[in-house]
Amino acid sequence: MGAAMAGRIQSAGYALTLYARTPSKAAHLARLGARIVSSPADAARSSDVVFTMVGHPSDVRSTVLDTTSGVLSSLPDGGVLVDTTSSDPALAREIAVAARSKGCWAIDAPVSGGDVGAREGKLAIFAGGDEEVIEWLSPLFQIMGKATRMGEAGSGQSSKIANQIIVAANLLGLSEALVFAEEARLEKRTFLEALRGGAAASSVMEIFGERMIDRDFTPGAFAEYMVKDLGMGLGRGEVEEDGERVVLPGAALCQQLFLGMVAAGDGKMGIQGLVTAIERIYRKKG
């Protein structure tokens, strides 16, 4: 998703400087004129705005806060960091405070919409932080999708966690429905088409339904990342804070199923691979 988002910014005419932990992922952007550098600090040094998208809160912490190679170690005065990673709300607040202490700004702006939304510029962007800074970023956000200010620092991340609870529940329902449809000998594509326009239709179905049927588990988002996202909602984030835990039985069940995927060696499978976990349970029962 990060490469697709960066590509849209580049295509809009902005000068792009990139750091990628896996350089091959940025090779096509380099061929189009992006400048590749060797650290987050090098990317930030000559930039007005830095977008980050990495895997886990620990990655965000090192990418942003490392005192020698992190973004904030070299971001110019008045520069803006926009973290689009699905990360920890408390960490987002910590980063916002650190950025202000250096004369910079930090916005937590995780996104939803998958690889398709990233390529087509149709992402939902949950932005947390200073209202004027988020407004100033609007021309960039509009290239990638629709941004909504959710509140102060950390609120973007909290919104993304809530979003993932919905996505996980939809994936579980869709997975079970497709397993049931196969057992009932329904033609699954006809079944999906019949759902459109009804109460069971969803963006999750539109993005992932055909992929599940085609056994296309190419990741737009890794299953292991859903374990992380749901875990933060369940109070198991990198930085836990008293008073923010909510009893979420559905999210807990979904996280267990995604943990089962990781245990089976499928953590790098796309999140639509949840259907395989349901199939395994059904086969064992049968």
Angle, helices 89-101/57-65, rounded to nearest 10 degrees: 0
Q: Which of 102, 122, 160, 284 is catalytic?
A: 160
- Look at residues 168, 209, 172, 165 and name the one whose alpha carbon lies nearest to residue 189: 209
For the record, the structure tokens of 148 come out as: 């909504």
Q: What span, in angstroms and rounded, lies between the C-alpha atoms of 54 and 234?
A: 21
For the record, the structure tokens of 209 come out as: 């339904």
User: Is 284 a residue of the active site?
Assistant: no
> Residues near 146 by Cβ (< 8 Å), separated by ≥ 6?
122, 123, 124, 125
Cβ-in-10-Å burial (0-12, 13-18, 19+) of 210 comes to middle
Active site residues: 160
